[in-house]
Each structure stands twice: as C-alpha cells, then as structure tokens.
Amino acid sequence: MRKFKAALLSFAHVHAPSYARVLKELPNVDFVAIWDDNEERGKAFQKRYSVERYYSDLERLFAENRDLDFVIVTSENARHYEHVKIALEHDVHVLCEKPLTTNLGHADELVSIARRRGLKLGTCFVMRFHSATIQAYNMLRGGDIGLPVSITTTNHGTCPYKAAHWFVEPELSYGARVNLREGDPRYRGGSITDHTVHCADLLRWFLGSEVEEVYAEVGANIRSDLEVEDNALVMLKFRNGVQASIDCSWSRPEGVYPTWGDVNLYIVGSNGVIEIEAFNQNVHLATWKMKRLVYSYWGPDVDKVMITQFMKAIEEDSEPKASGWDGRQATEIMLAAYRSIKEGRPVKLPLL
C-alpha cells in the first residue's frame, strides 16, 4: 500500500479538525506537518493529533518537507488563493476548502497552474460523496423521474461566528469590505459566500449543465449586529432549461435547534419527484452541552470518503470528483449572485 505524506494548512476553518482526524485515521497517510499563523491554535492541534511538526512559516514547511504528496487548505476564504498557489508552486497536490477563492481571476490562475504542472487540485464539496446525494444522482441520471424541470435547494445553518469569527469579517470571509449594493451598510462575505457554493456545485453535478443566468435577493438581516448578509435566495437558470433556487441562509436559531442545518434538494421531473434530506438520519441525539443543544451526527463519513478519493485521483492520475474547475464554477455563481443584488437584475454567465 502506497503511503501518502500530507500536511494541513491552518485550523481557521471549522472543518479542519475533521479533516485532521481523517488524516490520522487513514492507514496509508503520514500526517507529517501543520501550518497555522496562529501559533497557540496550531500547537494545540499539533498536540491533539500527535503531529510531528508545527510551522508558523509556510515556506519553511515546504522547504523541510520536499516529499509531501498533498496538503489540505483550511484557512480563511480570503487566504485560499495565496496558500493554494504556494503549494502548487512547490509541486504539491492540493485539496482546498470551499469556496476555492472569492476572485474569479484567482480561481482561473490556480486551475491553470495545476494543469500546467500536472497537479491535482480538488475542492472540498463533500456532498458529492454522501450516500443520499449519490443515490439521488443515480436516480436522476437514470431517468427515474423523467426529464428534470426544476430543483429547490436549501443549505441552512446557525451563523458560524462563535465557532470561527472570521466568517463574519468581510476582509477574511470575502477578501475586502465590498458593500452589497449602494446604500446598504452590509458587506459581502456572509451566508451567500459560505452556503451558495455547496448547493451550486450539487446542482451542476446533478444536471450536467452550466448556469446561464443568476438572480438573487437578500433580506433584512436576522442578526442585526452582523456586518455581512445572513440570508438570501439565489435563482438559477441552467443552459439545459432547468430552473433552480438556493436558500443559503444562516437561519437556524442559536441554542434551541438541535442540528447545524441542512442540505436538502427537491427535484421535480416530467414523470416524478425526488426529495433529498441528506442529514435526516435514522438516529438523532440532541444533548445539552455548553448551554446549547448539540447534534450528534450518524451517517456516512463524507470527509474520509472525499480525502480517500482525492488520494486515488493522485495515484491513478485522474480528475478529482470535485475538481478545481468545479470550485471555480461555484465561485462564479456566488459572485454573480452578489452582482445581481448590487445591480438589481438578472446576471448572465460567464462573468469573464
């Protein structure tokens, strides 16, 4: 069995601990290094996962670990471009948390670098690896409901600012303090940035088609203290004629709701309907911890399946199931939603 050497770049993202757990559990992975610009946080996770080396200098990590096979980038959204680019330029494969970037030109550059150097660039769209969505994908592609006509999707959750405050800091979540629209005191970088890309990717994957038009509306914030948006509705028209919607809101109440949110799809076809509630499992456990209800998940370990598939793509020299290009396309849809809000009209794709 081939051994892969891996490193994780930053524990800023809430998904980083799960990815670190997977790297420690997989028998064919040596989890050799952690980089984090927050030394206290980085060393704490180094100790927690018994990783040999911690770095505060990213260039030093690559200089001292020239045999790295891949890294997982789980830094703040605005830093993905920098960290992915550095890894690719050191000829290391990269699996990056979503969104891949918040800048379409940067996304194109990263995809180009990876292709030119023969490297694998993947995006952490874990829902492509969930058994519920895979079964629904097979049913849709198999013609079980005839031709798809429309799809409604939701990706809800509690505002993540307590787990990682940078999610509501526009300089880190989006990359700049860009107003949603003229006269609006809120900035980009909220729930549209965080949640649109997951559903957008599932829709592209399910339909095998690209988006040709985006229209979006944003509502008054649920949490008035936020500088970024926390609820929105994004409408999509695909080239194959299918209409779709994405409710990408941080609408779950804090402390009184047992789940983090949902990933739901309602697919209407010419001969039937498919309904997917991906996290509606057979076993639910809600316990009172830290003065709030905590949901205990039971179901597929999508993080492990995703990382295992990425390593398989490296070994077989095949395209990752969720590629850098897929990350680029989801970013374009997210950016088009913001442009639509700013201009108050539907926006045609492609943007570039």
**pLDDT bucket at 280, cuts 50 / 70 / 90:** confident
At 291 the pLDDT is 64
Residue in the block written with tokens 């660039």: 121
pLDDT > 60? residue 254 = yes
Mean pLDDT of 32-48: 98
pLDDT, one tens digit per residue, over 220-237 is 999 999 999 999 999 999
At 139 the pLDDT is 94
pLDDT > 90? residue 337 = yes
Residue in the block written with tokens 């790295």: 68
- In this structure, of 115-129, 205-219, 273-287, 321-335, the range with the lowest mean pLDDT score is 273-287
Long-range contacts of 168-173 (CB under 8 A, 24+ apart): 168/226, 168/227, 168/228, 169/227, 170/227, 170/228, 171/78, 172/76, 172/77, 172/78, 172/79, 173/76, 173/77, 173/78, 173/228
pLDDT > 50? residue 83 = yes
At 22 the pLDDT is 98
Mean pLDDT of 190-213: 98
Instruction: Retrieve residue 293's tokens.
Output: 């209800």
pLDDT, one tens digit per residue, over 107-151 is 999 999 999 999 999 999 999 999 999 999 999 999 999 999 999
pLDDT > 70? residue 284 = no
How many alpha carbons fall within 13 Å on the CB side of residue 194?
Answer: 33
Mean pLDDT of 320-328: 98
Mean pLDDT of 205-210: 98
At 259 the pLDDT is 56
* Average pLDDT of the residues of the chain: 94
Question: CA 304, CA 80: separation in Å to the nearest integer?
Answer: 21
Residues 6+ apart with CB under 8 A from 166: 12, 76, 172, 173
pLDDT, one tens digit per residue, over 41-78 is 999 999 999 999 999 999 999 999 999 999 999 999 99
pLDDT > 70? residue 257 = no
Would you say 234 and 203 are in contact if contact means Cβ atoms under 8 Å apart? no
Question: CA 189, CA 227: separation in Å to the nearest integer?
Answer: 9
Structural domains in the chain, CATH included, are 4-126 (3.40.50.720), 128-348 (3.30.360.10)
At 281 the pLDDT is 63
**pTM score:** 0.94
At 282 the pLDDT is 47
pLDDT > 90? residue 32 = yes
At 271 the pLDDT is 92
